[in-house]
Amino acid sequence: MNVDFANRVKNLPPYLFKEIDRLKAELLAKGVDVINLGVGDPDLRTPSHIIERLQTAAQDPANHQYPLYSGMNAFRDAVARWYKQRFDVHLDPSTQVLTLIGSKEGIAHLPLAFINPGDVALVPSPAYPVYQVAVMFAGGTSHIMPLVKENGFLPDLSAIPEETAQRAKLLFINYPNNPTGAVADAAFFEEVVAFAKRYDIIVCHDAAYSEIAFDDYRPMSFLQVPGAMDVGIEFHSLSKTYNMTGWRIGFAVGNAHVISGLAQIKSNVDSGVFNAVQLAGVEALDGDQKCVQEMQAIYQKRRDILIEGLRRAGLNAQPPKATFYVWCPTPQGMSSADFTAKLLKEAGIVTTPGSGFGAPGEGYVRMALTVDKERVREAVHRILKLSW
Ligand SMILES: Cc1ncc(COP(=O)(O)O)c(C=O)c1O
């Protein structure tokens, strides 16, 4: 076979977890008891009432055919009800809501609808890698907005050169943030709306972690800010909120023009989400939200154990108000990659190097709170034995 990969494949950044996976496999082969704080995949099970709804919906032959491209009316209506109840934002389910095969799918397809070759997108770093790759797949160029501690891990919009802002078509933001755990307030979102209006830019707010929050803190929706509906959309996911990562269901909401662009790309690429999964999604959104509160309490407990331990070990980690990630600074002078390797080799703990999410993430490692509290305690116990 002499057919080479296309440039978009050749230009993909190296797989973030490749070296970690290699080291992890090596330790597992040696019989080491590895604690995995590397992946952001909830260890908790999907609540029973959601599973039961899937079971009955899967038995109904009406659900066995191709779904509607934009999603079942029942699911989009449930999204609108949930939005009104959770954020007091009114959505028209027929034009402002779109079912996604997980929010990753929607994020990855959006640039294809609005970016022409050579166009610019404003992308944060460190960040979920899909934003930058999706822009590259569409032939666009990413202008990186560094997220640094001094600015609360929010992008500094005033640092974007005038000429770049004039050319930009898309702006990605993500709060509560992966990987930094940072949150955004109304003042920041207002600044984003004003910036987007000034330069005619579409805002894509990734709110995948809006329901993973602690200490009575409730993240807001970008669409709660006046004018946001004119400039952008928001991505949500049932993956983290209801421990449904494997089910593949999420949604985009907001500006009808942006939603329709994304829907046009999708109708040519995929054929929607299995109706039975959408009906289980309706159950999740309409059903008792006690399961969400219980999940929050579990992550909060794990967070407190880990933060307390890291501080005792001399690492100045801040407790995140939201997300199940701890963004932990490395010990003085140690690179992200070296600290990750040390934690793995000397303590059998898998973490993700901050630099893997983009150069501005150097000096941090990300720890996911997706193992039970006894394992978090064990991780702390092992970290306290290390020296640096
Ligand atoms: C910031 C962020 N956005 C989106 C996603 C994608 O979630 P899903 O496709 O499962 O809805 C993830 C998953 O880890 C994420 O961390």
pLDDT tens digit string along 289-315?
Answer: 999 999 999 999 999 999 999 999 999
Q: How far is the CA of 209 from the centre of ligand 1 (A)?
A: 8
**CA end-to-end span of the chain, whole Å?**
50
Residue nearest to atom 5 of ligand 1 (CA): 104
What's the predicted TM-score (pTM) here? 0.97
Q: Which atom of ligand 1 is nearest to the CA of 250?
A: 11
- Environment class of residue 196 by beta-carbon count within 10 Å: exposed (0-12), middle (13-18) or buried (19+)? buried
Ligand 1 atom index nearest CA of 127: 1
CA distance 325 to 319: 9
Q: What is the pLDDT of residue 286?
A: 98
Distance of CA 248 from the midpoint of ligand 1 (Å): 10
The protein residue whose alpha carbon is closest to atom 3 in ligand 1 is 208
For the CA of 100, the nearest atom of ligand 1: 11
The reported pLDDT for the residue numbered 280 is 98
CA of 333 to the centre of ligand 1 (A): 31
How many A from CA of 163 to the centre of ligand 1? 31
Give pLDDT, residue 250.
98
Q: Which of 41, 98, 101, 104 to mutate to test the pocket of ligand 1 (most atoms within 8 A of CB)?
A: 104
Question: How far does the centroid of ligand 1 lie from the alpha carbon of residue 274, in Å?
Answer: 19
User: Which atom belonging to ligand 1 lies closest to the Cα atom of 237?
Assistant: 11
pLDDT of residue 15: 73
User: What sign for the dihedral angle of Cα 330, 243, 205, 225?
Assistant: negative
Q: Which of 16, 17, 128, 131 to mutate to test the pocket of ligand 1 (most atoms within 8 A of CB)?
A: 128
Q: How far apart are CA 177 and CA 175, in angstroms?
A: 4
Angle at the Cα of 123 (from 182 to 114), degrees rounded to 5? 130
* Distance from residue 182's CA to the centre of ligand 1 (Å): 16
Mutating to test ligand 1, I would choose from 17, 206, 222 the residue with most ligand atoms within 8 A of its C-beta, which is 206
Question: What is the rounded distance in angstroms from the CA atom of residue 7 to the CA atom of residue 387?
Answer: 44
CA-CA-CA-CA dihedral for 78, 82, 84, 88, to nearest 10:
-170
pLDDT digits 0-9 by tens, 184-232: 999 999 999 999 999 999 999 999 999 999 999 999 999 999 999 999 9
Torsion of CA 226, 232, 238, 239, to 10 degrees: -120
What pLDDT is recorded for position 136?
97
Tokens 């790309």, located at residue: 265
Whether the Cβ atoms of residue 309 and residue 383 lie closer than 8 Å to each other: yes
User: What's residue 21's pLDDT?
Assistant: 81
The per-residue pLDDT for 9 is 93
Distance CA(316)–CA(240), nearest Å, equals 27
pLDDT at 201: 98
| For ligand 1, atom 6: residue with the closest CA | 104
CA of 4 to the centre of ligand 1 (A): 30
Residues having CB within 6 Å of any atom of ligand 1: 40, 102-104, 128, 174, 178, 206, 208, 237, 239, 245, 250
Please tell me the distance from the alpha carbon of residue 11 to that of residue 159, in angstroms, as a whole number.
Answer: 27
Q: How far apart are CA 198 and CA 314, in angstroms?
A: 45
| CA–centroid distance, residue 208 to ligand 1 (Å) | 6
103 CA to centre of ligand 1 in angstroms:
6
Instruction: Name the stretches of the chain with pLDDT < 70.
Output: 16
Give the per-residue pLDDT at 343: 96
How many Å lie between the centroid of ligand 1 and the Cα of residue 207? 9
Q: Ligand 1 atom 14: the closest Cα is on which residue?
A: 40
